[in-house]
Structure 1
Amino acid sequence: MFENRPNCAHEVVFVGRSNVGKSTLLREITGHSFDTGGKPGVTREPNHYDWSAHDFVVTDLPGFGFMSGVEADRREAIKDDIVAYLEEYADNFLAAVLVVDGKSAVDIIDRHTTEDEIPYDVEMFHFLRELGVPTVVAVNKMDKVDDRDERLDDLCDRLGLYPPWQQWQDVVAPITAKQGRIEALNEALRDHLHAQNHDELFQYF
């Protein structure tokens, strides 16, 4: 179990598969630069950002799922730690952001959908919502997607959200973190912060 969480009452937590651009997105949001790379699984422990004057932390949890060069039992242990962290601190979360790769998410979900298997992304989305955490799906790398609306509709369908995607703008946020185009995510997060009377945190998103 991850042990290094700052003692903060409020938190926005970021989760997602390895290599979906989560660390790039966190760098864009926090202004902090840290170890990222083309190698999946670089982040093995949470990165916590409690730089604000408020009783508030932004957390980047390790990537889950397949990681090149990482053994299966280690991957499972990381995923178990992520789940335990989310369960333990759910009451502190003002929002969770599930980051997915806009170009490949639907294909990955379809490839892992069987009678015996729920894809990690779908499982994580529903798990967060079952915990009662307002959850935004940040659909990253949209600059590489040609059929934008169709792709977002398909993703909504896989997540159990009735298309068209435009009616879920507090849940589905198309972004391109590498280009700094994250306005849709900031707006969705502000909606959830406002609903919980935390407008003072708008300055961070």
Structure 2
Amino acid sequence: MRNVTITQAKYITSAVSKEQYPESCRKEIVFIGRSNVGKSSLINSLARVHNLARVSGQPGKTQTINFYELGAKIDGVEDRQTFHLVDLPGYGYAKTGKENRRTWSKFIEEYLLTSQEIQFVTQLIDIRHEPMASDVEQFRWLVDHGLPVLVVATKADKIGKTTRDKHLAAIRRALGVPEIDILPYSSVKNEGRSELLDVIANVLLE
């Protein structure tokens, strides 16, 4: 596993249409998940910047595509690698009006289907619960449209290590892919951080 150090992390812009995407073309690592799955906490943990992504107690708060620029120093590589981390609005939150949901899914789909820079989509699923219909639907949509997906099981510190395998097996079963690798992650303990950075480093160096 490579040693990866995040050297800088900053917010760039928020977008709801193509015209608002950042002008600089950089490789993009995308994060998507249900509202309240711990996406902002994971982004802050990964970047090691407190409040880079706003953690909200109110689900469905992120309503735009948020772009962050991160710099990474990878052991054995002379040049620092700069990439975009892209935070997509949470899906599956019931209180969001139908009209809003339609608008959101339209600009999210436009981004996912047209961006040339996406390296992979990190789909976050809460390790404590079986994936919900919206998780499975989102996963299948990504796979059907040829987007590489890395499933990350968040809140790994909330369950005992002995029951972890059982919970991961339940996620695999629900997604219908028994052999899929799932990365357990705890934003509280930064567990899974090195492994996720290693995956990112590999695509940055391709």
| % identity of equivalent residues | 28
* Cα contact 1:95–1:189 (8 A) shared by 2: no
Q: Is the 8 A contact 1:136 1:185 kept in 2?
A: no
Give the match's secondary structure for 1:35.
Answer: coil
Give me the TM-score of the superposition, normalised by structure 1. Answer: 0.75
Residue 133 of structure 1, CA deviation? 2.4
Per-residue deviation, 1:134: 2.0
Residue 126 of structure 2 contacts residue 154 of structure 2 at CA under 8 Å; is this kept in 1?
yes
Partner of 1:56: 83
Q: Report the counterpart of residue 3 of structure 2 in structure 1.
A: none
RMSD over aligned CA atoms reads 2.3
Q: Which runs of 4+ in 1 moved over 4 A?
A: none
1:65 and 2:85 are equivalent in the alignment: no
1:9-158 correspondence runs (5 A)? 9-32=26-49, 33=51, 34-52=53-71, 54=81, 56-68=83-95, 70-89=96-115, 91-104=116-129, 106=130, 109=132, 119-146=133-160, 147-158=163-174
- For structure 1, the 5+ residue unaligned runs are 110-118, 201-205
Residue 187 of structure 1 deviates from its aligned partner by 5.9
**Aligned partners of 2:185 and 2:82: how far apart in 1?**
27
What number of residue pairs does the alignment pair up? 177
Find the partner of 1:159 among 150, 175, 197. Answer: 175
Q: Which has the higher contact order (CA 8 A, sep 6+)?
A: 2
Give yes or no for contact 1:175–1:185 (8 Å, CA) kept in 2.
Answer: no
Once residues 67 and 139 of structure 2 are traced to their aligned partners in structure 1, the CA distance between those partners, rounded to angstroms, is: 21
Where does the alignment leave 5 or more consecutive residues of structure 2 unmatched?
A: 1-15, 72-79
Higher helix share: 1
SS at 2:54 equivalent = coil
TM value normalised by structure 2: 0.75
